């Protein structure tokens, strides 16, 4: 039978061995989130006759993708929406920062299905608002259902004068959706795990300063308009 000291030593050793594995698992999960976000974005913009108007793509300041928002996340405030965001300045897209989405109106829930969400931020105000610890759609920036169609003539709002446009997909097809009241928060733990250190959203999104840009992040950045 092991004595108490031996048991303590084994438990301590096990914890030390398990810690890096847990970190690796977290990193793999975040890398998969980036890949899933690119897939969702690609399927939205490549959808035949249902894509995003070119005018919107050409003028957006940031793109946020939240893949697989689960049932009830925006109804009960559970933190079930996790995604990434990249911002553009001088024609260059930033490495992704991580975010969570919660709250919002009961009307957001769509048939109890998991939902992919894509947000296009059109203004400098909307982009800078992402730096807040809690950014509320519809309060800190106006949000509208994203127009469907590749030309401005097909858009529901030809002038594209909202600060944010939102799209969702719950049953195979993308459509515009209103997200008033949903809260967006920086995911600081995810940032630290993914980049290996704590970095502010401003540094990532507007200064583009990160220790390393991983391959899946480069692929996502290159896919943006």
- On whether residue 103 sits in a domain, the answer given is yes
pLDDT at residue 9 tops 60 = no
Cα–Cα dist 99/115, whole Å: 16
Average pLDDT of the segment spanning 100-109: 61
pLDDT at residue 224 tops 50 = yes
Reported as a single tens digit per residue, the pLDDT across 139-184 is: 777 888 888 765 444 444 456 788 888 888 876 677 777 677 778 8
The domain total for the chain is: 1
pLDDT at residue 6 tops 50 = no
- On whether residue 12 sits in a domain, the answer given is no
Cα–Cα dist 48/149, whole Å: 9
pLDDT at residue 190 tops 90 = yes
What would the DSSP string read from start to end of 33-44?
HHHHHHHHHHHH
Residue 109: give the domain boundaries: 42-223
Q: Name the least confident of 10-24, 62-76, 109-123, 191-205.
A: 10-24
- On whether residue 47 sits in a domain, the answer given is yes
User: b/e string for 142-160 if b means 16 or more Cβ within 10 A?
Assistant: bbbbbbbebeeeebebeeb
Nearest to 119 by CA among 79, 171, 78, 81: 81
Residue 126 DSSP SS3 = helix
Handedness of CA 164, 169, 174, 178 (dihedral sign): negative
Say which residues have a Cβ less than 8 Å from residue 221's Cβ, sequence separation at least 6: 86, 93, 94, 95, 96, 213
Cα–Cα dist 4/215, whole Å: 47
- On whether residue 11 sits in a domain, the answer given is no
């Amino acid at each position: 039978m092991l004595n108490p000291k031996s048991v303590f030593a084994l438990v301590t050793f096990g914890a030390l061995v398990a810690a890096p594995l847990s970190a690796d698992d977290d990193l793999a999960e975040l890398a998969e989130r980036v890949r899933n976000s690119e897939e969702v974005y690609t399927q939205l913009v490549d959808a035949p006759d249902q894509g995003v108007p070119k005018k919107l793509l050409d003028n957006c300041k940031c793109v946020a993708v939240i893949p697989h928002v689960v049932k009830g996340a925006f109804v009960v405030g559970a933190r079930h929406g996790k995604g990434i965001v990249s911002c553009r300045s001088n024609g260059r897209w930033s490495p992704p920062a991580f975010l969570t989405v919660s709250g919002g109106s009961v009307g957001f829930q769509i048939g109890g299905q998991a939902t992919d969400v894509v947000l296009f931020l059109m203004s400098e105000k909307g982009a800078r608002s992402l730096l807040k610890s809690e950014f509320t759609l519809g309060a800190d920036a106006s949000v509208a259902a994203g127009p469907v169609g590749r030309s401005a003539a097909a858009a529901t709002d030809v002038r594209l004068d909202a600060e944010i446009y939102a799209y969702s997909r719950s049953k195979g097809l993308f459509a515009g959706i209103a997200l008033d009241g949903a809260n967006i928060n920086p995911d600081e733990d995810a940032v630290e795990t993914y980049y290996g250190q704590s970095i502010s959203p401003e540094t990532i999104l507007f200064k583009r300063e990160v220790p390393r840009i991983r391959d899946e992040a480069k692929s996502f950045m290159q896919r943006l308009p």
